[in-house]
Amino acid sequence: MGFEAGTTNWNPATTGQTNSFWLPEVFSKKVQVAFRKSAVAEAICNTDYMGEISQFGDTVNIIKEPTITVEDYTRSTTSLNSTNLTDEELVLQIDQAKYFQFKVDDLEKRFSHVNWQQIASDNAAYQLKDAFDSNVITAAVAGATSNTYGTDSSPIDTGFDTSEIDPLDVLARLARLLDDQNVPEENRWVVAKPEFYEELAKTSSKLMSVDYNQGNGGLRNGLVASGELRGFKMYKSNNVPTPSGSGVTATHNVLAGHMSAVSCAQALSTVESVRDNNSFKDIVRGLLVWGRKVLRPEALALAKIKID
């Protein structure tokens, strides 16, 4: 620290600095918040078994409804065939976990113009939720093997040229695939990346504008519109995995399904603060554990498409 050059005015600047004059800086209390992706997993999955698990490693055994064979009957039949009842099970296991941890210095807490712990905790909570969302959607895409339209190596060329398939017709085919499996029409959904909805909006100027997002034009938990299209509630998410691998020419997955198809359960969401033994800092950490399971693969339909 020293005096201003050529004056007797005290200047609390470090001696030897290129600029020896103290220049006041104003720090805004408003923090630039990073953009958030919309989370849709909880909107497309059922949480029927949430209350039956409590910690990492827990499992829920779900008994499948038996399929009874119906046979012809004629008068004077003396021998009837019986269907043996089996206790076939599906297992929902809490086997996924993510955590965060950061440190807040005592000086930062005391002298900072913003609440670093709260800001960082908010971002960490979003990162956990985004990891959960991406994991569940990826598992759902991987489990959609019963009803498919197109393949990774031979995708449906989607667009409006004479040789391309209208994106609205892609939705119609997904709906029919679910119809073939007797999947209820109520509580159907479809989730895809923004590029697919861009193509879909080109189909008709009125198609996506009617009651678009209830008139506010913004995303609400990834829901594209308050109405339904081809019987689907439409969700937009950048967490839908992109097809990849050797020989893959598909550029997008479009996943459709019913609320009963996938189940997810969060077992533990903990945030705690402890004192660091090696510094004057607080350690803030959080843990999220969850499980997800495709219970009804026949209630999922997947289109492999290519958008040029």
Q: What is the 3-state secondary structure (H, E, C) of 55-94?
A: CCCCEEEEECCCCCCCCCCCCCCCCCCCCCCCCCEEEEEC
Instruction: Write down the pLDDT at residue 207.
Output: 58
- Paired residues of 304 in beta bridges: 253
pLDDT band, very low/low/confident/very high, at 205 (cuts 50, 70, 90): very low
Comparing 30-44, 83-97, 159-173, 234-248, the range with the smallest average pLDDT is: 30-44
Q: Given a cut of 70, is residue 75 above it in pLDDT? A: yes
- Average pLDDT of the residues in 71-94: 77
How far from 8 is each of 1, 3, 14, 22, 134, CA to CA, in Å?
Answer: 13, 6, 16, 14, 63
Q: Which of 12-16, 134-138, 149-153, 273-277 has the lowest mean pLDDT?
A: 12-16
* pLDDT for the residue numbered 3: 47
Residue 200 has pLDDT above 90, yes or no: no
> Over 50: is that where the pLDDT of 219 sits?
no
Q: Please give the mean pLDDT across all residues of the chain.
A: 82
Helix (H, G, I), strand (E, B) or coil at 269: strand
Unique residue bearing structure tokens 């913004």 = 218
CA separation, residue 182 to residues 178, 185, 298, 299, 300 (Å): 6, 9, 9, 9, 12
- Rounded mean pLDDT, 13-28: 52
Give the C-alpha distances (Å, rounded to integers) separating 62 from 49, 84, 296.
Answer: 9, 19, 12
Q: Is the pLDDT of residue 231 over 80?
A: yes
Q: What is the mean pLDDT of residues 61-71?
A: 71
pTM for the whole thing? 0.78
Q: If phi over 0 gives left and psi between -120 and 50 gives alpha, with beta otherwise, what is residue 221?
A: left
Q: Which residues contact 80 (CB under 8 A, 6 or more apart)?
A: none
Q: Does the structure show a pLDDT above 90 at 140? A: yes
**CA-based nearest residue to 233, from 253, 216, 202, 211:** 211
- Does position 65 have pLDDT exceeding 80, yes or no? no
Look up the CATH architecture of domain 36-65+86-308. Answer: Alpha-Beta Complex (3.90)
